[in-house]
Amino acid sequence: MNFNAGDWGNLTEPPKATLIFAQGLTLYAGPVADTEPHRHHAIQIVFSFAEPFHIRFERESLSTRCVAVNRDVMHQFFGQEKPFLFFYVEPESEFGGHLQSKLSGAYECWESGKSLLAPMQKSIGQEGLSIATVKKALAQELNFVTPAPRMDSRIAEVIEVIEKTPHRKISVPLLASAADLSESRLQHLFKEQTGISMKRYMLWKRINDGINYAAHGRDLSTAAYEAGFSDAAHMSRTFKVMFGIHLSRYFANSRSIQVTIENLE
């Protein structure tokens, strides 16, 4: 059974999961297990079109049906194998810049007041489940009318170089040369602009590559090698730190998940 937003409130069994990739964006629709405390670089928005879920932060917790979690915020999600919609947005993207401007703290609860549930469910029901549909609904409901905050052009150039480099393995001196900055200044400016170090950013990109390869049917050892990890154990440890759950929970059997690459151009 595939996901249909119009039926989510009446699901009695977990349907087949759907994973959609686009540049800087990932959409997951499917059953989610409880996680351990974790943090990752993406801004994360979680939707439940049925009952509320529970999410815990370092100093507080809440029950809700829609929450946006800011980048690099420690959190623990209690999914209990129920179906959810997870939308991951890299904050360096233009859309991520818009979204970042709407987040004033560690998280924003968007179930009441600035509610996104009904319009999101309506949009997916009418247009189908896609990253384009979710982006459009978010932009309309959150009123993305002003230009997104611009990133320093030198850091944007470094990110583009990293994006085009196989395994995301490139030395700091080469990146500093591309940005026409000293190594120390580049590392300081990169963290100032993105919130994380270049080393952690490249690790984030590699784990996304590994997820993509595993979701497309590679065994975990092959996916790890192609993504630039030393072995499957290294990739699995990284995934658990960033997502709070074992990688094999979702990607040991590629037949349990439907994968799509979406072109947004």
Q: Where are the domains of the chain?
A: 5-141, 153-247
- Kindly state the helix (H) or strand (E) to which residue 225 belongs, with its residue range: helix 220-227
Q: What's the average model confidence in pLDDT over 22-40?
A: 92
Domain 5-141 CATH superfamily: Jelly Rolls (2.60.120.10)
The pLDDT of residue 149: 76
Q: What's the average model confidence in pLDDT over 63-68?
A: 94
pLDDT category at 1 given cuts 50, 70, 90 is very low
- Examine the pLDDT at 93 and tell me if it is beyond 60: yes
Mean of per-residue pLDDT scores for the chain: 87
The CATH number of the domain covering residues in 153-247:
1.10.10.60
pTM, entire model: 0.89
pLDDT above 70 as % of the chain: 91
- Kindly state the helix (H) or strand (E) to which residue 222 belongs, with its residue range: helix 220-227
Q: Following DSSP, what letter does each residue of 143-212 receive, concatenated?
A: T--SPPPPPPHHHHHHHHHHHHSGGG---HHHHHHHHTS-HHHHHHHHHHHHSS-HHHHHHHHHHHHHHH
